[in-house]
Amino acid sequence: MSHIEKTVASKEVFSGHILKLRVDTVELPNGNPSTREVVEHPGGVAVLALDNDQAVLFVRQYRYPYRQEILELPAGKLNYGEDPAACGLRELEEETGYTAGSYQFLARVYPSPGYADEVLHLYLARALQYRAQKLDPDEFLTVERIPLERALSLCLDGTITDAKTLVALLKYNELCRRGEI
C-alpha cells in the first residue's frame, strides 16, 4: 500500500521573515480528503565544534518561545539556496569566533516532520582556531566550553533539551564508539 498523499490545493496564509505557513488540501491513500498545515522554513545548520582538549563549544542564549535560556550548539538559519556546509562555517565563526581546520558532515535531521519542512544539517568541526566573534546586532549569547564527557551527561540527564544538539552529540559519540570517526 502506498502512503503518499496527493496535494489537491494549496494556500499560503502567512509569510514572515523566518517562515511561511500554508494550508494544503490532500487526498489520502484511501481517497478521502484531509487538510495539512505546513510551516515552510529554509532550514538550518548546527556545528559540533570540538577543541583539542575534547571540549565542545556551546552557546547559551534566550529562546523566546520557551521563555528560557537554552544551551545548544552554534547554529543558524540557512538562506534559501545557501550551501549548508558554508552556512555552518559562517555561523561557527560568527557565534563563537572560531574557524575549523577540519569539517565533516554528521547528519541531516527533520526536527518536526508532522507540520514543518525544515531540515537541519549537522557538522563536526575540529582543529579550531580562534579569530574573532562576529555577532549580529540583535544576537546575544555566551560561549561555553564543556568537556565532551560532561556534555554527554547533560544530554542524558535532561539538562540539554535542544534537539539538534542532542542528535549531534549522541551521533558523534556513537560513531566514536564504533570507531567510524
Is residue 54 a part of any domain in this protein? yes
Mean pLDDT of 16-28: 97
**Cα 53 to Cα 50: distance, rounded to the nearest angstrom:** 8
Is residue 66 a part of any domain in this protein? yes
Question: How much is the pLDDT for 40?
Answer: 97
Domain residue limits at 49:
44-178
Same domain, 116 and 27: no
Please answer whether residues 47 and 141 qualify as being in contact, where contact means their C-beta atoms are separated by less than 8 angstroms: no
Is residue 1 a part of any domain in this protein? no
> Is the per-residue pLDDT at 55 higher than 90?
yes
> Is the per-residue pLDDT at 129 higher than 90?
yes
Same domain, 19 and 106: no
Please answer whether residues 116 and 42 qualify as being in contact, where contact means their C-beta atoms are separated by less than 8 angstroms: no
DSSP class of 92: H
pLDDT-derived band at 8, boundaries 50, 70, 90: very high
Question: How many domains would you assign to the chain?
Answer: 2
Same domain, 30 and 65: no
CATH of the domain at 151: 3.90.79.10
Same domain, 112 and 171: yes
Same domain, 96 and 156: yes
Q: What is the mean pLDDT of the chain?
A: 97
Question: How much is the pLDDT for 1?
Answer: 80
Is residue 165 a part of any domain in this protein? yes
Helix (H) or strand (E) holding 9: strand 6-15
Is residue 95 a part of any domain in this protein? yes
Q: Which residues are CB-neighbours of 101 under 8 A, at least 6 positions away? A: 126, 127, 128, 129
Same domain, 99 and 138: yes
Question: How much is the pLDDT for 117?
Answer: 97
Same domain, 126 and 68: yes
Same domain, 100 and 22: no
Question: How much is the pLDDT for 83?
Answer: 98
The angle, 0 to 180 degrees and rounded to 10, between the axes of the packed helices 148-156 and 163-178 is 120
Same domain, 156 and 171: yes
Mean pLDDT of 78-93: 96
Please answer whether residues 125 and 50 qualify as being in contact, where contact means their C-beta atoms are separated by less than 8 angstroms: yes
pLDDT-derived band at 94, boundaries 50, 70, 90: very high
Mean pLDDT of 153-158: 98
Same domain, 57 and 115: yes
Question: How much is the pLDDT for 90?
Answer: 97
**Cα 107 to Cα 163: distance, rounded to the nearest angstrom:** 12
How many other C-beta atoms can be found within 10 angstroms of the C-beta atom of residue 135?
Answer: 13
Same domain, 35 and 122: no
**Cα 36 to Cα 23: distance, rounded to the nearest angstrom:** 6
Same domain, 24 and 71: no
